[in-house]
Structure 1
């Protein structure tokens, strides 16, 4: 989520100093959970990832993929647990028969199991349809594994603004080819971004995806959040 224009009036919570709730050093760098007023923020290697203030675009990530599928018992892989909005929204939908959430940061999983983020994942980690995979998403997708009807990916601030350098491969030819392999025929790829990316839309088409589309969610300040959508041919 990008910062707004300097002329915008800051909200009361924007003016509150953040309080560090937990700080961990892991194999991919530092990850921090902060509280600002009533909301929580996740910071990775000094880069703001997401907060609990507004989960509309994270929910849209899952809903938009489901809207492009038919029938029940569908499977979805959610890339990035984050503050839990996408997972909780998927678990509340009975049409998903299998839900895998891939998260590489053990700290984030802990904050959902026993910490303050449990309130936002709404008990989804206990849902029998949900499997938590503790792995790097890029490595997980490029390896062998099951296919899914939908891949809903939200591990960066977008294709043009990655949290760690290694994530950039997800949005290039090799990463998109891996996504195609892990989708069922007719399956849907949904990618969250803090800003639209025409270059990524073209990369999806070049990789062989069809029905490429971008949905926008207006935010209080700055450019809209977006969900990039594409389909594997049947």
Structure 2
């Protein structure tokens, strides 16, 4: 949206491959929107995509990217030390007037692990992984059961891939470190193994499922 509005936008990630996939995903989405909104004006649609993508750059260094930024939106995985490290970099390099955003909107609630959304969502995802780990059902059967039985648009195993297996792991690791006696927060060997192998889900093309370059499940 910012790039489409004429602002210079820099995407930052340590992984160059993921940056490439992110740019491709943005372009694909933009082309789809432009084609729909300007279906009778193909040349304008093409120009919109070209102009927007020209405002998009990538960097593997948050410190470098922040040097001339007016706004920084933090959206890293739920790893406290990583977030602290990032904000230390921003504090040392970003201009004094630069706005920092968490990319979130506040919802008042009691200060508990995961607050509302993650506290409900992440244990749901990891319990599905444990069910798969025990051999109770296949990934496909678990997802089908929750889509049909609970009316969810996406099953928990597919959703874990979509969210990012590393993100799910980091959240659970943080909770387990603080509450080691809570059974629900204990790590999953299967999840840990996939993350160690770099199978992070949709963003790497492989997790519990295989994903194509456009982010669709194969």
TM-score range with shorter-chain normalisation?
Answer: 0.3 to 0.5
Relative contact order: is structure 1 or structure 2 higher (C-alpha 8 Å, sep ≥ 6)? 1
Larger radius of gyration: 2
Instruction: Give the number of the structure whose residues are more often helix, by fraction.
Output: 2
Normalised by the size of structure 2, how large is the TM-score? 0.33
Normalised by the size of structure 1, how large is the TM-score? 0.31
